[in-house]
């Protein structure tokens, strides 16, 4: 069985990867959306289609950030950690009783 430090390291590394992915997504959004606005306003100023990209990608970016930083409004910030500890404790107790 893996030790607690190894599990914590893997979990932290995964979380860092998620956060890095979010920042990459945010950087791309901040570069691409202004380009789309410019292209739209110079080629077809009578119809502002850039709003579709801005709002769609922006909404996805918000959810990506929520996932990456672990903020889930319905269950609280540390729900996952509490649930993980609870399940590990239950598993540990069942192992000793079986």
Each residue's pLDDT tens digit, 18-58: 999 999 999 999 999 999 999 999 999 999 999 999 999 99
pLDDT band (50, 70, 90) for residue 76: low
What backbone phi and psi angles, to 5 degrees, belong to 57?
-65, -35
CA separation for the pair 79, 86 (Å, rounded): 10
Could you state, in order of their start, the residue ranges of all structural domains in the chain?
A: 4-97
- What pTM did the predictor assign? 0.68
In the chain, where do the E strands start and end?
none
């Amino acid at each position: 069985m893996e030790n607690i430090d190894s599990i914590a390291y893997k979990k932290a590394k995964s979380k860092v990867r998620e956060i890095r992915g979010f920042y990459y997504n945010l950087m791309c959004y901040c570069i691409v959306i202004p380009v789309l606005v410019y292209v739209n306003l110079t080629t077809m100023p009578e119809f502002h289609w850039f709003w579709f990209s801005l709002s769609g990608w922006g909404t996805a970016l918000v959810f990506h950030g929520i996932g990456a930083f672990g903020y889930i409004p319905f269950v609280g910030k540390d729900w996952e950690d509490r649930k993980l500890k609870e399940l590990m404790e239950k598993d540990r107790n069942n192992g000793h009783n079986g």
